Chains A and B, each alone.
Chain A
Amino acid sequence: MLAWTIYLSFGGALLIALFTQGRPQMARALALVTALGGLILAVLAFFTQSGVAPIVDAAWIPAMGIRYTLSADGISRVLVLLTGFAAVAGVLFSWNIDRRVNEFFGFYLALIGGVYGVFLSADLFLFFVFYEVAIVPKYFLIAIWGSTRREYGAMKLALYSFLGSAMVLVGLLAAYAISGGHTLNLAALQQFAFPVSFQMWAFPLVFLGFAILAGIWPLHTWAPTGHVAAPTAASMLLAGVVMKLGAYGCLRVAMTLFPHGLDPWGWSFLGIGSWRAVFALLAVIGIVYGAAVALIQNDFKFVIGYSSVSHMGLVLLGLMSLSQIGLDGAVLQMFSHGVLAGLLFATVGRIVYERTHTRDLSALSRMHLSRTLPFAAWLFVLAGMASMGLPGFSGFIAELQVLIGAWAAFPVFTVIAGVGIVVGVAYTWRAMQKAFFSDAPAGSSPSALSLPSQELHVFDPITWAEKAGVVLLLAASLAVGLAPRLLLDQITPAVLALPHTLLTGGRL
């Protein structure tokens, strides 16, 4: 059933790209139908399936032992569900795209199809194919429909992604050759006892390759520029699901394939004695650094862009805890951040920017948006609260689990990560205050002359598409925050089913 999410997306992409030229309304409708179809399938599968559900297994390239194998476990289903939400919301928030509409939705759905494929692949070759399929549409989405420095942002993102996947490819090829070249099936390769010396270099290579896409410090720089340059829907997808591809690859491929790569080296330098500690350190630096940089941004979108780096640091920290609760938290955080980052980018990039035509916080502060655009103001308050970890929303339970999981292994790092979360409250508060609730007088700056009488400025009303997208994402975050069991019932069995050598950090 879930396989149809992939076919539907690619089929829709092809259909829209080829047959809806000059008919934008039809392209939008088709894209919405396609994305909704994917979401419905994802929801159905989420509520009807449990455990590992094989989907397809067919011979593909027999000579090299490569099979077309799709299967889903709890983690996959959660992330497929996230993709479904993000895809529908993205279509709704790009309803106002009016240039080259058919190409836009063609690239958009091709990206979605690739993302679904990654989350469902159980053969590494297939996994990698889908992983790379997702790179090219991102480039064109940003370069054609983007804003600030779009060509630079797009190229940087494409090259970073390709660099990461090149590192992954080296690791996969080496694993394939060492295991005898019979299979690339993930489960079969996990059974193979790779030499520890091999795992010791293959693990960091593959992990880092994936982690680039998850925005690991110091290779995160593509993320803020890419997010800022991208059109709203692409920012939502980038932060919402594409960064999850990286984290998912870290967990699904790097960690399960080379679990001994996480073992201690036998010596330590400044308390760092394993790749596990190295990546945990980078994750913590990412959390604090992302939050600190977000605190001083003047471009509203950059605030959100850096907050993504910070939040993805928590995912990586959760992965490195190697404990059941930490991994649970990491996956939950992937879902939570996917939904909330989508919501924040939608607020900033679509609802505010498309009306005010500026993302400059000091310019926004003179517009009194809390009065002229109350919908956006209250939406940002809700989304910001959720993002900073207010209980009742999905972010809280995810961050809590990550921190509890990480505490046992890295107490110092966990404290620092906690500080990062506090800074997170600060930058969200600052952005909220400056953009929406400022008392700055309208005429206090020369640039106000060009926009006379903001006090009376009437912005376009909020469209139905925007409202629908907001409701969808807010409901998802709220549901998970109030009843985390919904997701955890899927996630926990899948985490416990990971190779037993991996969960050294303890289970509940």
Chain B
Amino acid sequence: MTAAAYGNLFSILWPESILEIVSLVILVVDLGWMRGETTATRMRVASLLGSIGAVLSFAWLEMHVGIASVMGGALVSSPTVVAAQSCILILTTLVLLLGLSVRFTRNPGEYVALVLLATTGMMLVAAARDLLIIFVALEMLSLSLYVLAAFAKDSAASAEAALKYYLFGGMSAAFMLFGFSYLYGLTGTTSLSAIAASLAIAPLTPLALVALVLAAVGLGFKVAAVPFHLWAPDTYLGAPAPVAALIASGSKVASFAVLIAVTAALVPAWGWTATLLCMAAASIVLGNLSALVQSSVRRILACSAIAHAGYMLLGIAAHTLAGDQSVMTYAVTYALTTVGAFGVVAIVERSAGSDRLDAFAGLSARSPLLAATLLVFLLSLAGIPPLVGFWVKFQMFAAVLRAPLASGWGLGLVMLAIAGSAVSLYYYLQVLKRAYVTPAVISAPLKVTRLELFLLVAIAVAVVLLGIFPDMLMQWIPAV
């Protein structure tokens, strides 16, 4: 590569570079000057710096919306990619700010720096269109998250969460790399667009099938689709709340963005759609059914995340412009809502020391506004209009039914998905029942900082407004 090519590469990577630089600055500031301060102060400074970095990066992104690609199309930028990346940055900022008062670590500098590194990975994942870049970016994301999941060093649950996440993740990454190597062997290229062209004319071989299935393992792990979902409940349960929120939100958005790109490349090969559909159907059924019996709210969110991944896989398998658009709007709004829900869970945990359903008893009496935001988040996840969760489901199922590729399976799987979301109302209502119906065990008002309340109300308002005016969402994430 020439110097000009590097300059070109750097020009498209400015937002990621900003994050990298800020994460290093945070480490220097925190370890250099802040060691004498209390952990709370250090956390505030580090999180504030991290948020500033994310905002700077966001500003650069929004000023440079356009279509660009470097290194022969290995990394691209387009309005859709920018929307995904902007959303990831917003989610990271929210996670950092909502995590300010969560006490789980004595090393805030490292924590925030790692969050920013993970975010960099997510942004690269969303932009990558080359097998190697995808793998490197996914590893960058995953390695940061493994460490973050273990960040509550005093907590055995956190260690267990991290270990499960790491073992499953490492294994599936290896499978995926193996599959990618087969794909390279079959097509002689690592570029997704070239692979698509090559697979379209290649004869069906068992080798290609093996490659597809192996690639599906790695991506299925990232989106927590059945049968690669086993890590999710324990990781969501044990990881520190902000980290769990990050795993459930930004990481999901990035993974679905790359899954759309990979699908565009692999769909010509017979079997990819079928693989996606099997994962989708199994995720919808298992995710919803397993959520019914949980008594921990974090685990309910984890199981429902599996189900939501199932719905989104349907949209991906439809493989139309409208379908891809709907998957992105779904992933983005789902992530936003989940961050909000985790924010409420973290606040309740801080007071009750547990995320069991009983800890939510009487929430509406202890903090009416907080309970109202939880109501909005969970009903949106259940797909109740006029909240945005309903709109994205409607849009996606409509796109699936209209997709030419889906003529054989569309109706049946959409019915399954709608039945699944009917079931989901039960477990979301279980949480809301505690919050609104069951009398409070602890009657003291809940301690909620102004910042937390402001952010949660802002997210709830966004969920309502985007649901009432979904056109804003569709213009922000265009169908291209």
A interface with B by C-beta (< 8 Å):
21, 60-64, 103, 125, 128-129, 132-133, 135-136, 139-140, 143-144, 151, 155, 158-159, 162-163, 165-166, 169-170, 173-174, 176-177, 181
**Which has the most chain B C-beta neighbours within 10 Å: A135, A158, A166?**
A166
- Tell whether A176 pairs with B398 under 8 Å between CB atoms, given A21-B368, A151-B433, A170-B414: yes
Tell which of B94-102, B309-317, B345-353, B379-387 binds the partner: B379-387
Query: For the complex, is B34 an interface residue (Cβ under 8 Å from A)?
Result: no
- Count A/B pairs, Cβ under 8 Å: 74
Cross-chain contact B418 with A61 (CB below 8 angstroms)? no
Cross-chain contact B390 with A173 (CB below 8 angstroms)? no
Tell which of B184-192, B193-201, B331-339, B419-427 binds the partner: B419-427
A60 to B468, CA, bound (A): 9
Cross-chain contact B385 with A132 (CB below 8 angstroms)? yes
Interface size on B, residues (CB 8 A): 31
Question: CB-CB < 8 A to A176: which residues of B?
Answer: 398, 401
B333, chain A: closest CB distance, angstroms: 15
Please name the residue on chain B nearest to A139 by beta carbon: B429
A-B contact pairs, 20 of them (CB 8 A): A21-B368, A63-B471, A63-B474, A63-B479, A64-B395, A103-B364, A132-B390, A136-B379, A136-B384, A139-B429, A143-B433, A143-B437, A144-B437, A159-B422, A163-B422, A169-B394, A170-B418, A173-B398, A173-B401, A177-B402
- Tell whether A181 pairs with B402 under 8 Å between CB atoms, given A21-B368, A159-B426, A170-B415: yes
Q: Return the 7 tightest CB-CB contacts between A and B, nearest first.
A: A177-B401, A129-B385, A166-B422, A143-B437, A177-B402, A166-B418, A162-B422
Cross-chain contact A61 with B474 (CB below 8 angstroms)? yes
Please name the residue on chain A nearest to B438 by beta carbon: A151
Please name the residue on chain A nearest to B425 by beta carbon: A162
Chain B 430-446, CB-CB to A under 8 Å as 1, else 0, gives 00010011000000000
Cross-chain contact A166 with B421 (CB below 8 angstroms)? yes
A174 to B398, CA, bound (A): 8
A147, chain B: closest CB distance, angstroms: 13
- Tell whether A129 pairs with B419 under 8 Å between CB atoms, given A143-B433, A144-B436: no
Partner of B398, one of A64, A159, A163: A64
Question: CB-CB < 8 A to A155: which residues of B?
Answer: 426, 429, 433
Question: CB-CB < 8 A to B394: which residues of A?
Answer: 125, 169, 173
B407, chain A: closest CB distance, angstroms: 10
**Which has the most chain A C-beta neighbours within 10 Å: B385, B397, B433, B474?**
B385
Cross-chain contact B418 with A169 (CB below 8 angstroms)? yes
A449 to B429, CA, bound (A): 42
Query: For the complex, is B411 an interface residue (Cβ under 8 Å from A)?
Result: yes
Query: For the complex, is B470 an interface residue (Cβ under 8 Å from A)?
Result: yes
Question: CB-CB < 8 A to A132: which residues of B?
Answer: 384-385, 390
B440, chain A: closest CB distance, angstroms: 13
**Which has the most chain A C-beta neighbours within 10 Å: B368, B397, B398, B479?**
B398
Question: CB-CB < 8 A to A128: which residues of B?
Answer: 385
A133 to B383, CA, bound (A): 11
A413 to B324, CA, bound (A): 52
Question: CB-CB < 8 A to A60: which residues of B?
Answer: 471
A182, chain B: closest CB distance, angstroms: 11
- Tell whether A62 pairs with B433 under 8 Å between CB atoms, given A162-B425, A181-B398: no
A132 to B394, CA, bound (A): 13
Cross-chain contact B390 with A129 (CB below 8 angstroms)? yes
A377 to B325, CA, bound (A): 63
Please name the residue on chain B nearest to A146 by beta carbon: B437
Cross-chain contact A133 with B426 (CB below 8 angstroms)? no
A162 to B422, CA, bound (A): 6
Please name the residue on chain B nearest to A181 by beta carbon: B402
Question: CB-CB < 8 A to A135: which residues of B?
Answer: 384
A128 to B65, CA, bound (A): 36
Please name the residue on chain B nearest to A144 by beta carbon: B437
Chain B 129-166, CB-CB to A under 8 Å as 1, else 0, gives 00000000000000000000000000000000000000
